[in-house]
Amino acid sequence: METVLHGIGVSPGIAVAPALVFAKSQCEVPEYSVGEPGTEWRRFQEAVEKTRVDLRSLHSQTAEKMGQRHADIFHTHLMLLDDAVLHDEIRGILFEEAKNVEHVLERVARRYAALMESVGDARLRERSADMLDVADRLQRCLLDQDRPDLKSLPGPRIVVSRDLSPSDTATMDTVNTLGLALDAGSVTSHSAILARALEIPAVTGLSQLSAHVRPGAMMVLDGAAGVVILDPSEETLGRYRAERERFAARRERQLRAAASGPAVTLDGVGVPLEANIELPVEIPHSLRAGACGIGLYRTEYLFLNRDEAPGEEEQYQAYAEAARALSPMPVTLRTMDIGGDKLVAHLQIFKEENPQLGWRAVRFCLARPDIFKVQLRAMLRAAAHGGIRIMFPMISGLDELREVRRVLDGVREELDREGVPHGGDLPVGSMIEVPSAVMLADVLAKECDFFSIGTNDLIQYSLAVDRVNEKIAHLYDPAHPAVLRLIGRAAAAARGAGIPCGICGEMAGDPLFTEILLGLGVTSLSMAAVALPAVRTEITGIRMDAARELAGEALQMGSAADIRGLLQARFNARNSAGNGNNGHDGNGRDAGEVP
């Protein structure tokens, strides 16, 4: 009998394959007394040296394969490996208790990991896993045991595991890994970021899946819906396989179309389609999908999963890499949106009572100019290499916008005095994601060069719905009439001031909303690269006069259900006429993504 499990979809796509259960067995650690603690200490030092060589090799392999940012995780592992306090404690216990080093290492590493887990900070929980991963390497070196890996799978498989460490993913057989189903992890975990970069469908948060699935059991994985099906029926298998093939064929057609030129409506209006990225490694995929720029570079991801803030040079290199790769196309750098659900201990950002309304984004930046100015210096320097634009998140009013612009101007003058090359007076924009910013959009538009509507937060704040609370998730609705009116108002203010108004939230990547967004006056759309081909296809079947009529009709409605019904009917009619987006269900899901 088939079993349906729900987790967190972190990388879209469908996989149908047998399960490969990757369970790293714990080393059998012996305990015995020793006569010469000094000998044990030398054994430990030799294991540290061998492990250091392995980690440096993994760093080089990962940097070559996935880029420097993915490789940086191994710097953290090297720091843990060489931690002086850890070494001192192990040495002290060795000479005090005269026990074998494997036993002492096990005790100390697990105590450190438990302390990290108990803090309750997501970053430290990931550091706990890193500590155990480094300790496992040391143990296997001491015990002369091979470390299990995913270098060579027996064939196409869906990898099932509690979680995958950076060491596991660095050497993973990406050809035969069709999907990842993980008990732990999150959208921002290393495994999730890697899966998206490699376009491997992935679902995390599956609790105890790895402990219960049979090796070799047939599985279906839907990385968009966050669904895993164990032992699917023949009917289910047939349905998913057919949808997967249709999706693959349609996506290939869309990618070829994307390569042929920009998205243009039936009446000749060009609509820039841009990509949302977190790391430079995602740029090649975005370009292949037809992106004509980066509409949202989430720069905060440079600050996550590490022990200290990135310096100016590291940030400059990351931003400059994007600028060079995209030049002359635009790259929109959002200043760090730290806080909320992105907790960063090394910046003293911890859990708050009401984090989404708390110390985050520009509020944090203005309170920590020492960190903010370093980022702005890096951004301005990178702008010398391409079309960099800067936008500020969570702007709630004119005073905030003026203050961040004042800081930016000061940094630019500082670079001028130092004779450091930079991009000069580059375009500066405001994100529109707070209702107060919409109400003041006409005022804000006079003092910035573009708007970018962040629909994820705008919907959350305007409808008073926590978008990650499953109990009220059904109330989070982009089709709500209040949301559409807010978008229309912001777009109208931008149009009145003669500046462009884009959208960079999830709503931009849902073809169901493409027509109405254009009709409301949105001038560009930025989304996950995987959504670009479907939205481009949708645009080629739209006429702007009809889109404006649709928007006008929807704005007269008072019910989200009625609006969604209208949009679905228009979507179905357009696609049944052969626009080429058949197979999309109009709910932000691709043809290969079965409910």
Phi and psi angles of residue 296, each rounded to the nearest 5 degrees, phi first: -155, 110
Q: Catalytic annotation on 292?
A: no
Catalytic, out of 70, 77, 504, 584 = 504
Other beta carbons within 10 Å of 359: 16
**Beta 273-277 vs 294-298: how paired, if at all?**
parallel
Other beta carbons within 10 Å of 348: 9
Catalytic, out of 190, 385, 422, 584 = 190
| Cα-Cα-Cα-Cα dihedral sign, residues 503, 506, 507, 511 | positive
Q: Catalytic annotation on 504?
A: yes
| Cα-Cα-Cα-Cα dihedral sign, residues 33, 34, 37, 43 | negative
Based on the number of CB atoms within 10 Å of its own CB, is 181 exposed (0-12), middle (13-18) or buried (19 or more)? buried
CB 349 within 8 A of CB 300: no
Residue 348, by phi and psi: left (phi above 0), alpha (psi -120 to 50) or beta? left
Integer CA distances (angstroms), 230 to 65, 180, 181, in order: 32, 14, 11
Integer CA distances (angstroms), 351 to 115, 345, 359, 379, 463, in order: 17, 10, 10, 28, 23
**Integer Cα distance of 168 and 153 in angstroms:** 13
Bridge partners (DSSP) of residue 21 are: 160
CB 316 within 8 A of CB 381: yes
CB 430 within 8 A of CB 392: yes
Which are the catalytic amino acids? Answer: 190, 504
